[in-house]
Chain A
Amino acid sequence: MRPSTLNRRTFLRGAGGACLALPLLDIMHGCDSPTAGVLPQQFRGKGGPKRFVVFWTPNGTIMKDWRPSGSADAYTFGRILQPLEPHKQDVLVLDGVDELSAYKGPGDAHQKGTGQGLTGTELQEGDFAGADGLSAGWADGISVDQAIADAIGNDTKFRSLEFGVHVYGANVGSRISYRGPAQPIPPENDPTAAFDRIFGDLESDPAAQARKIAERKIVLDAVADDYQRLIKKVGAADKIKLDAHLAAVRDIEMRLETGSTIGGACQPPVLGDIADPSKVGNIPATGKLQMDLLAMALACDLTRVASLMWMNSATAKPFPWLDIPEGHHELAHRGDGDADAQEKLTLINIWYCQQFAYLIERLKAIPEGDGTVLDNTLLIWVNEHQKGNDHDRHEIPYVLAGKAAGAMKPGRWLQVEGDVPHNNLLVGCMNAMGLEATTFGNPKYCNGALGLA
């Protein structure tokens, strides 16, 4: 165990504060940021902004235990989705969407399934070693969460937040989110670091907060000028790199004053002692903390777009807390006839579903408008594959939750027929979030929007 380095007193002091300066304030409910009120209508929910959240797990599922039975409106969950029973009216089981683009381009099945899940476009050629001699580079386009963040994430402290739980290394199998071609966004695995980043600046003392902002303005102004001057003197290739760095500096600078105020539903969680997040055995504890932080970042309107990547693509980690000593990937590769492996894979997916249910609960627990934050959110569970042993990327086991402020209709088992490319789903998500997109990713693999309403 590692002691938390956080100053808890700060937050206790802050807990009594209220968000008085804010318009649209409903003191009983969530604490809207001042900018939520000026958001264009299509990005607004009821009593708060719309949010988009991705929940990502690797190595496929066991379809016979995942797929519900019955009819579209009168269905029974299979074993894997059983933990969603209390939230049946809040989830949409999306059955039959195919990750068609992920059969194309460089990379092995895991690399493609991961890098294309949210981008819907091929990976670049590159040197990341895949299975059996395959290799690939990064994804060749922006991911859907970032496209959405570009529309709805400009007024918050963070355009988006990327959480990890046990995501190691820096390669195509450990990234799902991209700012653009070959611009992967790394997830933060460490709840302490995530806490410091998200809430560390929330000074309860307004004078200290103002001082910090004033100091950072001086510094970041100077730093940005420095990059600006150098950019004029370098060649084209270096310019691209320095431009990206300058953009990141400007981004921090622009958001200096877009923090939030503690109060109402916005109460930074007290983390307590934090178990070493690099230890496999601590994955359940780490994941729970990350979900708490994610939910609270939404409640405080510090971001409107977030993702949670549980583990790497093809992760070889075991699940000791489920008494499963074998690595997930190894199990996923065993044949359909291996009953022991099948059962263990089902148990792993049940566990992931319990985590998904926990995140739903967290978002449901934050009141907003007449409902909860979940009502204004589109939450989607994405898996890199459908099936582990043959890497099937058809019929990806998607589960959506929330209502996207009415743009998504949950409480259904939506079975789609034929080849429905997952790019269509990504467009559907964008539409539900208020973006007027008609295509996403490589248009070759997109033939319209999959309506979610």
Chain B
Amino acid sequence: MSFSRIVVWAIVAAAAGGCQNGDGGDGATTEGSDSDGTTDGVAVETEGGEAAECKGIEPGPSPIRRMNRREYDNTVRDLLGDDSRPAQSFPTEEEALGFNNNADALVVTSLLAEGYLGAAEDLAEAAVQDLPALLRGCDVKKDGEATCAEKFITEFGRVAYRRPLTADELQQLLAVHQAAADEFDFATGVRLTLTAMLQSPHFLYRVEFGAPMEGDDDVLRLAPYELASRLSYFLWGTMPDAELFAAAAEGRLLEPDDVAEQATRMLADARARATVRDFHGQWLELRRIEELEKDDDAFPGFDPDLRPLLRAEAEEFLDHVIWNDRGDLDAMYLAPYTFLNGELADYYGLDGPSGDGFEKFELPPGRGSGFLTQGGLLSVLAKPNQTSPIHRGKFVRERLLCQVVPPPPDNVDITPPEVDPNLPTRERFKQHSVDPACSGCHGMMDPVGFGFEHFDGIGRWRDIEAGQPIDATGELVGGNTNGTFDGVGELASLLAGSPEVERCMTVQWFRYAYGRADAKEDACTVDDLTQKFAGSGRRIQDLIVALTQSEAFLYRRAPEGK
């Protein structure tokens, strides 16, 4: 049982139009103000660390989770040896909180159900081409069709459903097989049974019933096979491997220590690296690098062919930090180096590596602050023809500090100021700080974004804009992370030293790992995880293992409203 400081879920801007200053005044209150008062809050820890008891086990919500496209493709690869990635033709996932694995957002439309049907038919058709392999040595002539059908369903079912089938399920699937075999033939029976299994909720979703616990009717502990799936989908984005299945079957996946041991083993596998990349692709919006379009007149140096290189820079860097370097939050935010190849070095105008391969490169003093100074991210957080202090500031607020910037009042003209060759960006955005209807919220974003002004709309360093030296001074106000800074380096130091950033890193991983938003009742879990993260020297790998040790991971709520 752990104790935690109380977390107050404060709604930062209840007043229309006002953020920190709340001085939007009546002028900001429009008829659209019923959209204000967002239900999302900013977690603000009360000063003084008032202690609250975290009583009992609180797993938080445990929604049923459906595979997303990445998980589907990985799963059929591991289940059937099929690497055709059929899910790439399914509709794109709907996202929530910046992630594409959020259970609440993953609903099924007709188009997707048709996709499942078509993919299952194709996969089954391909699989029965080598029927003996599928039947794993069962000889229809010698052993009989009934025996082979039962053996196939039992054995294939165990891996497809990621747990042994119940007796009822075996009978139901045998009935499918029989119906098809009677109407057509044995092989069709196998094929159609397989087609049905690949559309079963027990394949497409992670169905969890849990196991009862003595003395607690509200909470269930996860059964070993369910834990195996939670581990494999979180750490690898795919179904359990043979060792996880064996551990579940042999009673080696019961205690938190067993789970931690498996998690540590799994982290050493390349599949865990792919998962960490997937996380960063979403959290840091790196996936959007591929969609970048820039204005040729404003940025003639931007070639769409650079996009994969900019993404590679970010990935090589994060891979290095997390797996080879110290692996901690500080290195992510503060590392004075990046990874470049010849083409990117030219792009940045740096005297760096010359070949195609990426190499670690120490940036000139004052220019390198981990992922925050890389071209891909800074291009994503910019307009096609100019920088965007708003988007950069908003990114810091929402992605790095987990704060919510409330919507401005309705009916305001939100046309960004036009590019003016004689005025630096900061000057052009002045209205935001002058107009009281804007300054409340933009005071949260623009002064943070101004810190990035040394980096132009495509992420390259500049000392001068519109004939004037860059002013990259800025200020963080309002939350628990406050201070003034000059440039990204100082901003990064401010952020890296902030408990809010530490907690936010934990929250982002929580959302990704558990496929859901952090709910109010998760406050103790988030506190506990944050403490463990801090206690480990803020190492990401340790945070990942800690995420498999939480109440949210090891337990689930007994279903309500059955």
B88-102 CB contacts (< 8 Å) to partner A: 89, 91-98, 100
Q: Taking CB as reference atom, which chain B residue is nearest A251?
A: B110
Contacts of B113 in A (CB 8 A): 245, 248-249, 251-252
Q: Is the CB of A133 within 8 A of B405?
A: yes
Partner of B560 from A236, A244, A249 at Cβ < 8 Å? A236
- In the complex, which of the residues B106, B175, B196, B295 contacts A219, with contact meaning CB atoms closer than 8 Å? B196
Interface 0/1 of B195-209, CB less than 8 Å to A: 110011110010101
Known contacts A170-B93, A230-B201; is-contact A333 B415 (Cβ 8 Å): yes
**A242 with B64: CB separation less than 8 A:** yes
Cβ contact within 8 Å between A104 and B410: yes
A108's nearest neighbour on chain B, judged by CB, is B414
Q: Tell me whether A334 and B64 are in contact in the complex, defined as CB-CB below 8 angstroms, given that A133-B408, A220-B117 are known contacts.
A: no
B109 touches A179 (CB 8 A): yes
Contact across chains for A330 and B385 when beta carbons are under 8 A apart: yes
Contact A133 B394 (CB under 8 A): yes
> Which residues on B sit within 8 Å (CB–CB) of A244?
107-108
Contact between chains at A169 and B559 (CB < 8 Å): no
In the complex, what distance in Å separates the CA atom of A362 from the CA atom of B108?
Answer: 33
Inter-chain contacts of B32 with A (CB < 8 A): 103-105
Contact flag A238-B64 (CB < 8 Å), given A215-B180, A249-B113, A330-B383: yes
Min CB distance B72 to A, Å, is 14
A234 within 8 A of B: yes
Given known pairs A218-B180, A222-B196, A234-B562, the reply for A389 and B415 (CB within 8 Å) is yes
Contacts of B176 in A (CB 8 A): 218-219, 222
CB proximity to A under 8 Å, residues B179-206: 179-180, 183-184, 188, 192, 195-196, 199-202, 205
Of A159, A185, A237, A251, most buried by chain B (CB within 10 Å of CB) is A237
Find residues 373-392 in chain B having any chain A CB closer than 8 Å to their own CB. 383-385, 390
> Contact between A106 and B35 (Cβ–Cβ < 8 Å)?
yes
Closest CB in chain B relative to A178 CB, distance in Å: 10
Task: Choose among B39, B111, B562 the residue that contacts A235 (Cβ–Cβ < 8 A).
Answer: B562
Q: A103-B32, A327-B293 are in contact. Are A236 and B110 (CB under 8 A)?
A: no
Of residues 310 through 369 on chain A, the ones whose CB sits less than 8 Å from some CB of chain B are 316-318, 325-327, 330, 333-335
Q: Say yes or no for B34: interface residue by CB 8 A criterion.
A: yes
> A419 on the interface (CB 8 Å rule)?
no
Interface string of B387-427 (1 = CB under 8 A from A): 00010001000100000011110110111101000000000
Interface check B112, CB cutoff 8 A: yes
B295 CB to nearest chain A CB (Å): 6
B554 close to A (CB within 8 Å): no
A179 to B110, CA, bound (A): 10
Residue in A closest to B109 when the chains form the complex, CB atoms: A185
- B26 sits at the interface (CB 8 A): no
Is A125's CB within 8 Å of the partner chain B?
Answer: yes
**In the bound complex, CA of A93 to CA of B398 (Å):** 44
Q: Which residues of A contact B94 (CB under 8 A)?
A: 138, 170-171, 184
Q: Which residues of A contact B100 (CB under 8 A)?
A: 170
Query: Is A126 located at the chain interface by the 8 A CB criterion?
Result: yes
Within 8 A of A (CB), among B490-537: none
Are B109 and A133 in touch, CB under 8 angstroms?
no
Q: Is B111's CB under 8 angstroms from A186's CB?
A: yes
In angstroms, Cα B196 to Cα A215, docked, is: 11
Bound form: Cα–Cα A170–B109 in Å? 13
Q: How far is the CA of A242 from the CA of B293 in the complex (A)?
A: 39
- How many chain A residues sit at the interface, stated as a range, is 35 or more
Q: Which chain A residues lie closer than 8 Å to B96 at the CB level?
A: 126-127
Judged by a CB distance under 8 angstroms, whether A134 is at the interface is yes
- Residues B111 and A214 in contact, CB atoms below 8 Å apart: no
Other-chain residue from B34, B64, B406 in contact with A104 (beta carbon distance below 8 A): B34
> In residues 217-252 of chain A, which contact B (Cβ within 8 Å)?
218-220, 222-223, 225-227, 230, 233-239, 241-242, 244-245, 248-249, 251-252
Give the shortest distance, in Å, between A190 (CB) and chain B (any CB): 8
Quick one: closest A residue to B175, CB to CB? A222
Bound-state CA distance A358–B296 (Å) is 31
User: With the chains together, A131 CA to B295 CA distance in Å?
Assistant: 19
Instruction: List chain B residues, Cβ under 8 A from A391.
Output: 414-415
Q: Are A238 and B63 in contact (CB-based, < 8 A)? A: yes
Cβ-based interface call for A36 (8 A): no
User: Is A109 positioned at the interface, with any CB of B under 8 Å from its CB?
Assistant: yes
Residues B36-53 near A (CB distance < 8 A): 38-40
Q: CB-nearest residue of chain A relative to B292?
A: A316
A104 touches B31 (CB 8 A): yes
Complex Cα gap A106–B36 (Å):
8
A85 within 8 A of B: no
> Which residue on A lies nearest to B36, using beta carbons?
A106
Residues of B within 8 A of A230 (CB): 201-202, 207
Q: Is the interface of B mostly helix, strand, loop or mixed?
A: loop
CA distance A104 to B96 in the complex (A): 22
Per-residue contact bits, chain A 382-394, to B (CB 8 Å; 1 contact, 0 not): 0000000111000
CB distance from A406 to the nearest CB of B (A): 31
The residues of B that contact A179 with a CB separation of less than 8 Å are: 109
Task: Say yes or no: A219-B199 contact (C-beta < 8 A), given A170-B92, A179-B109, A330-B383.
Answer: yes
Set of chain B residues within 8 Å of A327, measured between Cβ atoms: 293, 295, 384
CA of A109 to CA of B297, assembled, Å: 27
Q: Are A235 and B192 in contact (CB under 8 A)?
A: no
Q: How far is the CA of A226 from the CA of B40 in the complex (A)?
A: 37
Cα distance, A138 to B107, chains bound together (Å): 13
When distances are taken between beta carbons in the complex, the residues of chain A under 8 Å from B418 are: 334-335
Provide the B270-286 mask, 1 if CB < 8 A to any CB of A, else 0: 00000000000000000
Across the interface, do B390 and A316 meet the contact criterion of CB distance under 8 Å? Answer: no
Name the residue on A nearest B444 (C-beta). A133
A384 to chain B: closest CB distance in Å?
Answer: 15
B97 partner residues in chain A, CB cutoff 8 A: 127
Q: A316-B384, A327-B293 are in contact. Are A185 and B111 (CB under 8 A)?
A: yes
Shortest Cβ gap from B427 to chain A (Å) = 18
Q: Is B114 among interface residues, defined by CB-CB distance under 8 A?
A: yes
Instruction: Give the contacting residue for A134; candidates B92, B95, B107, B408; CB below 8 A.
Output: B408
- The docked-state distance in angstroms from the alpha carbon of A238 to that of B106 is 11
- A453 at the A/B interface (Cβ < 8 Å)? no
User: Which of A105, A190, A235, A251 is in CB contact (< 8 Å) with B559?
Assistant: A235
Q: How far is the CA of A230 from the CA of B166 in the complex (A)?
A: 13
Which residue of the partner chain, among B66, B109, B200, B561, contacts A248 with CB atoms under 8 Å? B109
- The answer on a CB contact under 8 Å between B98 and A241 is no
A193 touches B110 (CB 8 A): no
Asked if A203 CB lies within 8 Å of chain B CBs, one says no
Neighbouring B residues of A162 by C-beta, 8 Å: 111
The chain A residue with its CB closest to the CB of B393 is: A133
Q: Which A residues are in CB contact (< 8 Å) with B383?
A: 330
B441 at interface by CB-CB < 8 Å: yes
Residues A116-140 near B (CB distance < 8 A): 122, 125-135, 138
25 residue pairs of the A-B complex, CB under 8 angstroms, read A105-B35, A107-B35, A125-B39, A127-B98, A128-B95, A130-B407, A132-B414, A133-B442, A134-B414, A170-B91, A170-B94, A183-B107, A193-B89, A197-B114, A214-B183, A220-B117, A227-B201, A237-B61, A241-B106, A244-B108, A245-B201, A248-B109, A327-B384, A330-B295, A333-B415
Q: Which residues of A are in contact with B by a Cβ distance under 8 Å?
A: 103-109, 122, 125-135, 138, 158-159, 162, 168-171, 179, 183-186, 188, 190, 193, 196-197, 214-216, 218-220, 222-223, 225-227, 230, 233-239, 241-242, 244-245, 248-249, 251-252, 316-318, 325-327, 330, 333-335, 389-391
7 nearest interchain CB pairs? A235-B559, A236-B561, A248-B113, A186-B91, A245-B108, A238-B64, A170-B92
| Residue positions of B touching A, CB distance < 8 A | 31-32, 34-35, 38-40, 61, 63-64, 66, 89, 91-98, 100, 106-114, 117-118, 120, 172-173, 175-176, 179-180, 183-184, 188, 192, 195-196, 199-202, 205, 207, 209, 291, 293, 295-297, 383-385, 390, 394, 398, 405-408, 410-411, 413-416, 418, 441-442, 445, 559-562
Known: A186-B91, A219-B117, A223-B200. 4 other contacts (CB 8 A): A197-B111, A237-B561, A239-B561, A244-B108
